[in-house]
């Protein structure tokens, strides 16, 4: 049913109440789509986390906090435009989101950070034709992530780090069934509260080659974790007024048994090479185990399953001359990246895949390395040739990174 379900979509998309919204039919399944791919600096290099530096917060690997030399505050936002195509119908939508806020504070060998970022987003409006009628699906919501991180410079070459996260949110799903020649429609409304606590671990190891090139290896690990699920269901008989407003004729609410779902273990490996403040390039591979989402109460379908996933990213940057006193364009950080991702979602025997190419620039904008970061990503999720909905998206993102010096002893002559 999954191919037919997606193939009969008419697309109207909603703003999600998660930190990063979405309008994707794939967000119907599970807890939605994973919408956080890193800071603007990460995303401009396909989301790689290996190439961290001293003036930007890196939210992909907590060990990177140990690289910070300046207290940093950053926030990012995205303008998304997406075209959805099922082979016969196309629709285009746009959405603007505030993505994340983060603070990083270096204190000698130890650095700490905290902030808020999205974890998943739900946003869809789907119309499915059924025998002598129509079924409408609407959904919105998602999960956010409040976190506290620490990175420590264990040796001159080795950084380690950990992040403790509390994830929370809710998903609202509404289904209305219309039948021909029947005055009233039936409506089912599910409200699902989600909450969880988990940890992420990271490490980075540096080497110098020929006293010229910096070689870095990185490791990130997130153990699998449970997400608590509390669901309330409301069933109703409804009709619609002339102005389109919904009128409830009769309804009944009930609370389902609280349960949980299992999120996957994730392992990331990275290898990068470059010269500090000049250039760098890195390759990253990420593996995730199969999630267990069977206890989600409203969106399980017979031909939909979940499986192990992997992703591959290649990205880098170039700064012609970071301290050029005359030519501003030489101090700009130029970034580029390519990525391939598998989604855990398998519909009718076809695993959903995603491709992306991104680039961006970092613009010096003030004192002590404060900068603005602009980026763009073009990508495709799903494929019409696989009897899936194809999402072609273009994302424009912007962030500001404000830097200052804290926790240094004052000296007086």
For the stretch 202-259, pLDDT in tens is 999 999 998 899 999 999 999 999 999 998 988 988 887 777 777 788 888 887 778 9
In a domain, 409, yes or no: no
**Band (21; pLDDT cuts 50, 70, 90):** low
Does a structural domain hold residue 412? no
- Cβ atoms of 160 and 184 closer than 8 Å: no
Q: How far apart are CA 413 and CA 409, in angstroms?
A: 13
* CA–CA distance, 116 with 20 (Å, rounded to integer): 11
Residue 142, phi-psi category: left (phi > 0), alpha (psi -120 to 50), beta (remainder): left
413 assigned to some structural domain:
no
When comparing pLDDT for 298 and 142, which is higher?
142
Residue with the two structure tokens 């606590």? 197
315 occurs within a structural domain: yes
pLDDT tens digits, residue range 91-127? 888 888 889 999 999 998 999 999 999 999 998 888 8
What residue numbers bound the domain in which 353 lies? 2-404
396 is a domain residue: yes
Cα–Cα distance list, 4 to 86, 264, 334 (Å): 10, 28, 43
pLDDT, average across residues 166-188: 88
Q: CB–CB of 283/313 below 8 Å?
A: yes
In a domain? residue 410 = no
- How far apart (Å, rounded) are the C-alpha atoms in residues 351 and 387? 11
Element (H, E) at 83: strand 71-85
In a domain, 411, yes or no: no
Q: What is the DSSP string of 156-170?
A: SSEEEEEEEEEEEEE
pLDDT at position 9 = 35
Q: Is the pLDDT of residue 15 over 70?
A: no
Q: pLDDT at position 322, please?
A: 84
Domain count, the chain: 1
Q: Is the pLDDT of residue 13 over 50?
A: no
Position 286 pLDDT exceeds 50? yes
For position 56, which CATH number holds?
2.40.160.60
The pTM for the full model equals 0.87
- State how far the alpha carbon of 34 is from the alpha carbons of 22, 118, 143, 315, in Å: 10, 8, 10, 20
* Contact partners, residue 413, CB within 8 Å, separation at least 6: none
Q: Between residues 176 and 271, which one has the greater pLDDT?
A: 271
């Amino acid at each position: 049913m999954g191919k037919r379900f997606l193939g009969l979509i008419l697309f109207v998309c909603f703003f999600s109440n998660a930190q990063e919204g979405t309008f994707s039919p794939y967000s119907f399944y599970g807890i939605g789509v994973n919408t956080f791919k890193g800071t603007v600096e990460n995303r401009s290099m396909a989301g790689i986390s290996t190439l961290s530096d001293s003036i930007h917060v890196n939210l992909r690997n907590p060990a990177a906090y140990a690289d910070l030399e300046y207290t940093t505050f950053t926030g990012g936002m995205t303008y998304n435009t997406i075209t959805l195509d099922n082979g016969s119908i196309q629709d285009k939508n746009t959405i603007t989101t505030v993505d994340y806020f983060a603070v990083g504070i270096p204190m000698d060998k130890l650095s700490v950070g905290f902030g808020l970022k999205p974890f998943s987003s739900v946003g869809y409006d789907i119309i499915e034709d059924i025998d002598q009628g129509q079924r409408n699906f609407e959904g919105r919501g998602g999960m956010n992530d409040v976190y506290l991180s620490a990175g420590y410079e264990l040796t001159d070459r080795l950084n380690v780090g950990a992040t403790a996260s509390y994830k929370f949110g809710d998903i609202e799903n509404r289904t209305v069934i219309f039948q021909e020649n029947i005055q009233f429609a039936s409506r089912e409304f599910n409200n699902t509260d989600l909450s969880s606590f988990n940890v992420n671990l990271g490490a980075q190891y540096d080497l110098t080659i020929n006293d010229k090139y910096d070689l870095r290896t990185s490791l990130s690990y997130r153990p699998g974790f449970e997400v608590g699920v509390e669901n309330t269901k409301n069933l109703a008989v409804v009709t619609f007024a002339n102005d389109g407003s919904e009128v409830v004729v009769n309804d009944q609410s009930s609370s389902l048994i609280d349960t949980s779902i299992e999120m996957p273990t994730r392992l990331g490996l990275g290898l990068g090479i470059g010269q500090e403040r000049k250039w760098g390039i890195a390759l990253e591979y990420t593996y995730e185990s199969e999630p267990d989402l069977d206890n989600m109460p409203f969106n399980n379908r017979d031909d939909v399953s979940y499986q192990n996933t992997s992703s591959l990213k290649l990205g880098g940057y170039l700064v012609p001359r970071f301290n050029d006193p005359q030519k501003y364009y030489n101090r700009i950080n130029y970034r580029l990246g390519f990525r391939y991702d598998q989604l855990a979602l398998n519909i009718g025997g076809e695993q959903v895949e995603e491709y992306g190419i991104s680039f961006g620039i970092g613009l010096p904008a003030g004192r002590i390395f404060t900068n603005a970061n602009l980026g763009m990503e073009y990508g495709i999720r799903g494929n019409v040739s696989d009897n899936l909905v194809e999402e072609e998206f273009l994302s424009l993102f912007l962030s500001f990174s404000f830097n200052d010096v804290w926790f240094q002893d004052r000296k007086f002559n």
